[in-house]
Amino acid sequence: MVAAVLLAVILVGCAGDERPGTATGGRPVEIHVRWEIDDAFPASITIHEPPADQELYEVRTYGAGEPAVVGAEIPGGVLHTDYSEPRRFVARLENHADEAVRFWVAPHLPMPHVSEQGLMMFCLCTGEVYEVPAGGTWTRVMEFGVTRRAELEGPIALTHVIVRGEMVMPTPVALGGQP
């Protein structure tokens, strides 16, 4: 009897706080989605819950005064999910300029860097140039997640730099080629 109780105590103690029914025993992942916007681009960006009718990678633009179709804002830009369970959201960029603005997004920078090997990202840093109307809003459905391979102890911060203007590809000469 004492041996059975001792075995039960050991098994419960080793089980940790895992929740059944999740792919990794319920180990939560916290992803901080951060944005850097050049001072020359008067814009603000937030992330929101996605509406059910919007597909991954879907981009929508809205004119000045037209309400963007997005769900509730995600507080602090922090996504909560479990390992191998990607989290879908909508990036919402509001253009505060009196003119339409074209922009592109530099590749993301994860911190800690080791988290890159475990990221699952359906992103917006794809080399595409986007446009948002004067005083309008632009949205894109995205999805981030972390696979079990990452094995991180703390949160991940993903920073994207939003650059106003056209994306200029390097020429062969700039890459050391012949003119």
Question: Could you report the per-residue pLDDT of 82-106, keeping only the tens digit for each?
Answer: 888 899 999 999 999 999 999 998 8
The span from the CA of 120 to the CA of 18, in Å, is: 23
Written as six digits, the tokens of 25 are 């025993």
* pLDDT for residue 90: 97
Q: Measuring CA to CA, which residue among 111, 84, 6, 91 is closest to residue 46?
A: 91
Over residues 115-172, the pLDDT tens digits come to 777 777 777 767 789 999 999 999 999 998 888 665 677 788 889 889 888 877 666 6
Determine contact, residues 54/124, Cβ cutoff 8 Å: no
Give percent above pLDDT 90 in the chain.
Answer: 41
* pLDDT for residue 171: 61
Q: Is the peptide bond before 75 cis (omega within 30 degrees of 0)?
A: no
Least confident of 38-47, 52-61, 78-87, 118-127: 118-127
* pLDDT for residue 153: 74
Q: Which residues contact 25 (CB under 8 A, 6 or more apart)?
A: 16, 18, 19
Q: Which residues contact 165 (CB under 8 A, 6 or more apart)?
A: 102, 103, 104
Higher-scoring residue by pLDDT: 130, 9: 130
Report which DSSP code applies to 4.
Answer: H
- Where do the domains of the chain lie? 35-143+153-164
